Structure 1
Amino acid sequence: MPASRRAVLAALAAGALLPGLGKLSARADSASRDAMGPLDLHFRITQRYRPLQPLSAFVTLDDGFDADSTARYEALHPTGEAAGTLTAGGGALAVSGDAPYFALLRSGAAQQAPYSTVLVDVRSMVNTCQAEDSVFAGLARDERNYVTAWYNNVSKTVGVDVVTDGGLHPVALASASLAAPFSFGLILAGDTAGVLAREADGDWRVLSVQRTADLLDLRAQDLPAAYRNTFGARADHGTIVLDRVRGGYSGYFGLRDTCIVTAPDGTPHIEDDRLFFTATAAFADPASSHQCVFSLNLADTTDVVEVGKTFVRRDGRIVGDHAGKVVVDPDLPGLRVFASTWGTSDLETTAVGTEVADLPGAALAGIHLCDVPGRLIQTGYDPCPTLVDGAWQVPVAGTSLYRFDAALESGGQVAAADDGFYEGPRTLQLGGTWYVMAGGIKDFRVYRLADLSFVGFLDAEHPQAPAYPFGNPPHPSIAAVPQPDGSTRYVMVTFDIQTLPGAVGLGNLVIEEAVA
């Protein structure tokens, strides 16, 4: 695999976020559109912002303790200590005791894939303990097998406890001082665990991150459903009060690998003036990231809503393969999900290929577990499949072009561009000709789709001007949006490579529009 993608996924320190710019719009009338090509479009950035949502919209547990809900939870006793006294109601859960206690409460809710976040809102701690004054959030199978993030208010530290067959393995230790009220939680994303916190009206922070797959790998396909959303409190004595617990599928700390959702012929999928696209919910490394489906309000491009997620079941694991595309195919009818096999990449020796799964009857919204029969392309990622003249044209990063029959059963590589290294090739038809746009570290190249012959450079603002310091360049995913007056609006959905502190969450979302 080219070194540039490895380098960027190792991450840099975060840069300053740039404010959104005023919205621009451009229209091309039908006569000029028939004669124009990509070099006639002039894109400028109109919005740039950080999508940050540790817990996605797909929530499986949400308890605000408005009533006594303690019967909903199984009290685990991993250390032999009593659970203390649990009092729930009126918007709070109080855990108290005159002697040491440990209340670890396992719910009945779980996720189908190993990309989970569990959050607790903490109203108050004891503040007079000598050893334990702690809160917990995570996933548990039983009292001998669990993974929880914790915050100890005495030692002012956070960490993750990975417990397997009764053996305790503390990881991801870091210093932290949190003042109640605060929110706290665990994200377990593929092979990696992270400790999350937010104080008062501040932003969510990732306090520590560590790979945990060598201790407990929840990507094994029989494990996610067994590990239920869990939370708790532990103290020498006194009372800890929680306001709320939530759990569900993990969200995102940044987005990358954007790709417009289309019909097979490349027509962008738009419903109620909302443009749909896929993007990678980026966390710490490829195996801790996954593919999501979003809708973008074309009337207000700051309005972005997650509507779906795709995970892949292969080789006995459920993984977050991403950097792909979703095609809404009326002939199934349903979805064709394309993805790159990053979910098991080690960034060093594993070749990353492209796979495809058909989901008959599926809608864009919801959680999708995809079974893939095998790799469509052995080595090549960032696919952008488009059905042209009865054959699937699939450009991939590199830049290479593969061509397959309509059933995606036979085909192979037909062209390659000697261009150094460009990623995120995206197709667009203009003036009756199909083109491919690909992103580099300082510019966007344009090719003819038929043979990948070089046309020129797209006139577009590079999201991280004057140039990216290293790889994972932006993907120029452009939607041609028909307007009521017969003109066309051109919207690019792309990203930059800014990370958050802790080298997590690659990518601000960047919107560009063509300026006439």
Structure 2
Amino acid sequence: MTEGGIDRRSLLRGMGAAGCAVALPGLLTAPAAAAQPVRTPFDLHFEVTHKFRPFDLVAPRFTQYDSAIGTLDTLVTTGVRPKAPFGSVLVEVLGVDGPGAVVAGLAGGGTSVLGTVDPSAGRATIEVTTNGTTTVVKTAEVRVAGAFRLALVVNENAVTVLVDTTGTGTAWQPVLTERDRVRALLDLRVPAVLGKLDYAYGGRGSGSVRLGRVRAGYFGQAGVRDPHVVQHADGRPFIRDGKLYLTMTNAGLGFFQQAHWAVWTLDLADPTRLEQVAVLFFARDGVVVGDHAGQIVYDDRTRRFILLMSSWGDFAFRGVHVRHVTTTADVLSGVHVLPTERLPLPTSVSSWDPSLTRVDGRWRLAFVESEAQQPAFVFHPALAVGPPGADYADSLGLVGADTTVDQTEGPIIQRVGSRWYVFASDGDAREYPVYDLAMRKLGTLDAPYGTNIPHPVLLPVGRDWWLITFDGTQYAEPVLGYGGHGDLVVMRSKG
């Protein structure tokens, strides 16, 4: 598959915390007297303990419409709409009587973006209606009979039709997707456009459709990546009721613009109990986008949340930069659309993957520098620091960067023992380099290295250390192309 005529595989080669231990029952695997203190990162020896993939076309906590329907032959608008162009409509089809099609999508005020499945014609379509004119932007063959399920997903301006012929809602397969031809007709990122469109569903044709349950709401994820612990300014992890809060990039059904950012909780007694608790979108340049790959820091002194994120939401191979915003709103729950500004970093090239911590009264910010994104990505870790007593965005100066590597990202600032370190991920060497706060390489972590460029999120839990990361496992790449990754991976080093 290609993006703009460039081979994604070669172009995107490998694209892909806290100092407070948490004591939890059941996690202490040896008596205290037998445990050896962890003094440096090189005392840690990680093994994979959990690997799984969150997948939801509608995020469970963010369903906006849920109803049992009946027989229809027209389009129904729900009066409910998303705040950002990241939503899904899931339709349980009990049967189609006579010639006709099942329809789902967004509609209102004479404008619509709809997906259709016509069982008798064996065809699925994506169509856009503006100014009274309907344009079928893409079609595909589809074979369904009897009961099945239909989903229409909007990720930014990408529209995807999926079906589940098992009727269970657990075996979704995309049959067609289109972004560029949708965007040529309307821009769903513009609030004035999206603000007129409701979730919609129904039937058309001379027959009728029999529908069961219809659900609509904010799109969940086809996978997750770029985990980062939500933390206090001094590096302590944000934990409530035994649950760790972390941000992750929710993979969309396609390339980086189709992803968005969310807050999750991970139960430290059972890492497979993962729950999305907030959805974050960002307003800039007159549109709402799903910028992601960042961090949330709670500053106890000022009682505000600091959000840092990377500008992947409108990435078009013309550079990436770090953006930021502060707020007193509870961004750890609910749906938020926040205005952001560009963060002034001490670099003249692209940047992403910010990691912020206040150490010894000075804000330190690790990030990725990237001097090129085509014909191939080139990127390495860097570290900036502010003056004593200054705010996190003020007068940042470059401490150093490792320019000996060119496929290294995911920097994490974390204390192990009595010292602070910068951890990163080198996709070429397939290892996790460890740096001091002068960006001198000290060695590498002893941890399995999977596919893509897995970020090394270290976390002390009881006497153990965990490493939370992801891999490059794709979802439906032949239809959707690169970007629908990955699995969540949890490792543990016994204390």
| TM-score for the superposition, normalised by structure 1 | 0.82
State yes or no: 1:134 paired with 2:81: no
Match 1:438 to one of 420, 424, 431: 424
User: What amino acid is the match of 1:94?
Assistant: T
Instruction: State the Cα distance separating 1:122 from its structure 2 match.
Output: 0.9
* Residues 10 and 285, structure 1, Cα contact 8 Å, conserved in 2: no
Q: Which amino acid aligns with 2:340?
A: V
5 Å-filtered alignment, 1:224-263, equals 224-237=194-207, 239-263=208-232
Structure 2 counterpart of 1:475, one-letter code: H
Q: How does 1:119-130 map to 2 (within 5 A)?
A: 119-126=90-97, 128-129=98-99
Whichever residue aligns with residue 487 of structure 2, its letter is: N
Deviates more, 1:193-202 or 1:105-114: 193-202
Q: Within 5 Å, which residues of 2 pair with 1:302-317?
A: 302-317=272-287
Q: For 1:55-454, list aligned pairs within 5 A.
A: 55-59=58-62, 61-65=64-68, 92-95=69-72, 103-126=74-97, 128-129=98-99, 133-142=100-109, 144-199=110-165, 200-201=167-168, 202-211=170-179, 212-237=182-207, 239-283=208-252, 284-346=254-316, 348=317, 350-377=318-345, 379-397=350-368, 398-404=380-386, 405-420=390-405, 421-441=407-427, 442-454=429-441
Counterpart secondary structure, 1:385: strand
**Cα distance in structure 2, aligned partners of 1:305 and 1:179:** 34
Q: Which amino acid aligns with 1:401?
A: L
- The one-letter code matched in structure 2 to 1:218 is L
Compute the displacement of 1:273 (Å): 1.2
How much does 1:271 deviate?
1.2
Aligned Cα RMSD in Å?
2.4
CA distance in 2, matches of 1:30, 1:507: 39
In the TM superposition, what is the alpha-carbon distance from 1:109 to its structure 2 partner? 0.5
CA contact 1:44–1:515 (8 Å) conserved in 2 = no
In structure 2, what is the Cα distance between the partners aligned to 1:352 and 1:292? 20
CA distance in 1, matches of 2:82, 2:192: 12
Say if 1:413 and 1:169 are closer, same or farther in 2 by CA, change over 3 A. farther
Cα distance in 1, alignment partners of residues 194 and 36 from structure 2: 50
Report the CA distance between 1:414 and its aligned residue.
2.2
Task: Give deviations 1:138-182, integer Å, cap 9, x for gaps.
Answer: 11122x311011111122111211111122222242211123322
Aligned to 1:243, what secondary structure does the other structure show? strand
| Structure 1 residues 374 and 31: CA distance shift in structure 2, 3 A | farther
Partner of 1:20: none
Distance change (3 Å), C-alpha of 1:5 and 1:264: farther
Counterpart selection for 1:496 from 449, 468, 471 = 471
Instruction: Call closer, same or farther: CA 1:145–1:308 in 2, change over 3 Å.
Output: same
Q: Decide whether the 8 Å contact of 1:333 with 1:361 is kept in 2.
A: no
Report the count of equivalent residues: 451
Q: Contact conserved, 1:26 with 1:490, CA < 8 A, in 2?
A: no
CA distance in 1, matches of 2:151, 2:138: 13
Q: CA contact under 8 A between 2:399 and 2:439: conserved in structure 1?
A: no
Three-state SS of the structure 1 residue aligned to 2:280 is strand
Equivalent position SS for 1:113? coil
1:320-353: per-residue Cα shift (whole Å, max 9, x none)? Answer: 000001112223323211100011111x2x2111
Partners of 1:175 and 1:8 in 2: CA distance: 32
What code does the residue aligned with 1:279 have? M
- SS in structure 2 opposite 1:425? strand
Deviations 1:89-118 (A, max 9, x none): xxx4212xxxxxx51111111111111111
Label 1:44 to 1:124 Cα distance change in 2 as closer, same or farther (>3 A). same
Deviation for aligned residue 1:358:
0.6
The amino acid across from 2:92 in the alignment is D
Check whether the contact 1:447–1:456 (CA below 8 A) recurs between aligned residues: yes
Q: Identify if the C-alpha distance between structure 1 residues 35 and 381 changes in structure 2 by more than 3 Å, giving closer, same or farther.
A: same
- CA 1:226–1:175: 2 relative to 1, 3 Å: same
Assess if the C-alpha contact under 8 Å between 2:53 and 2:487 holds in 1.
Answer: yes
Are 1:61 and 1:229, in contact at CA under 8 Å, matched by a contact in 2?
no
* AA in 2 matched with 1:312: F
Percent of aligned pairs with the same residue? 28
